[in-house]
Amino acid sequence: MIDIKSLKEALDAVVAPKSRKVTELKTIVFDVATGTRVREATSDADGYWVGAPYVFYDNDSKEFFLVYRWRDPDKRGYESVIAKSSDGINFTDVKSITKEDLGFTSIERGSLIRDPNTGKFKYYICGDDGTGWDIYKLDDVDDPTQLDPTTKTKVLARGASGAWDDVYVKDPCVYFINGIYFMLYAGVNGNEQTGLAVSGDGVTWKKYTNNPIIQNGSGWDAGVAKGTTIVIHQGVWCIYYTGLPTCTATSPEQAQGLAVWNPLLDTPIKISEDAPLFGTGTKYLDILIVEDTIYCYYELLNADGSEDLLVKTIKLEEI
């Protein structure tokens, strides 16, 4: 029988993928209130959100590429933006894609990654076509500013009737690990859980046989258990996930959990089964490690119900 407490204490070194230098550090936990605001909601009121971040660091250009979305109560998720930065904190918008461009009623999290073989950028976005959410991809481009929303193709669809993800699939988080593309995604049938899909080319995807890989618990993550980022150490995946006690879009109880996984096993093991690891009031955590710095991007709930996009930087020596 696995001693979860001992396993948690053993997580004394992790490393993030996404073309990053291998670096040792302890499990990443920080005070979310001390982050720096990258973008602020357009109104200080409930339902006005900016965030759902995904960040990619391009080793060739030494630039950070951030994908984030804007939302309000009336238009829902209405714009996906790609921004770039030289320091990972101060970003300049370079590309905007609206829900109208894509023909959707709402859009949410997107991912941008550079194909190490072709050098081209791949962009993924989830959209609601009026019947529910699926995940789409635009044609590859040499530069993100060239992305064409008219080239969208559905690459991951809702499951068959009765499946754990038959209501919707959304919020793709895409990685290239050891020559294979991996996608974390959220699936819903009653509650929200984490699925995994794999691909050899980033176009044709196959859902993992043992989905959902992170299931709902019985307490703080009984309604939502959505994986949002992966860090890896010596073949062990550390998957940080957002949890909620009910399947509700916004709540002061949303927080971050952790599950660890050796892909030789069927599914990950939750470290935060009884309580969240950290991050009350946060969701969509993404972790990036560049040289001697950890960059943690997340959406933070304000007292007025709005949500802002923040980044917390941590030196490796501080972990």
Nearest to 49 by CA among 282, 239, 220: 282
**What structural domains does the chain harbor?**
4-318 (2.115.10.20)
Average pLDDT, stretch 255-281?
93
Percent of the chain with pLDDT over 70: 91
How confident is residue 10, by pLDDT bands cut at 50, 70 and 90? Answer: very low
Secondary structure (H, E, C), the chain: CCCHHHHHHHCCCCECCCCCCCCCCCCCCCCHHHCEEEECCCCCCCCCEEEEEEEEEECCCCEEEEEEEEEECCCEEEEEEEEEECCCCCCEEEEEEEHHHHCCCEEEEEEEEECCCCCCEEEEEEEECCCCEEEEEEEEECCHHHCCHHHCEEEECCCCCCCCCCCEEEEEEEEEECCEEEEEEEEEECEEEEEEEEECCCCCCEECCCCCCECCCCCCCCCEEEEEEEEEECCEEEEEEEEECCCCCCCCCCEEEEEEECCCCCCCEECCCCCCCECCCEEEEEEEEECCEEEEEEEEECCCCCEEEEEEEEEHHHC
Count of alpha carbons within 13 Å of 64, Cβ hemisphere only?
26
How confident is residue 263, by pLDDT bands cut at 50, 70 and 90? Answer: confident
Tell me the average pLDDT of the chain: 91
Distance of CA 141 to the CA centre of its chain: 22
Whether 8 has a pLDDT exceeding 70, the answer reads: no
How confident is residue 250, by pLDDT bands cut at 50, 70 and 90? Answer: low
Residue-level pLDDT at 22: 35
Distance of CA 206 to the CA centre of its chain: 19
Residue-level pLDDT at 113: 97
Whether 235 has a pLDDT exceeding 90, the answer reads: no
Residue-level pLDDT at 318: 85
Q: Which amino acid would we find at residue 292? A: D
* Range of weakest confidence among 1-5, 99-103, 232-236, 305-309: 1-5
Average pLDDT, stretch 4-12?
39
Residue-level pLDDT at 191: 95
Token pair for residue 48?
Answer: 């006005």
Residue-level pLDDT at 54: 98
CA distances from 195 to 159, 168, 232, 298 (A): 11, 12, 18, 20
For residue 199, count CB atoms less than 10 angstroms from its CB and return exposed for 0-12, middle for 13-18, buried for 19 or more: middle
What distance in Å separates the CA atoms of residue 199 and residue 162, rounded to the nearest whole number? 24
Report yes or no: 312 and 88 within 8 Å, Cβ to Cβ: no
How confident is residue 9, by pLDDT bands cut at 50, 70 and 90? Answer: very low
Residue-level pLDDT at 160: 97
Whether 25 has a pLDDT exceeding 50, the answer reads: no
pLDDT in tens, 290-319: 999 999 999 999 999 999 999 999 998 887
Average pLDDT, stretch 164-172?
98
137/13: higher pLDDT: 137
Whether 20 has a pLDDT exceeding 70, the answer reads: no
> pTM of the entire structure?
0.91
Token pair for residue 46?
Answer: 């409930």
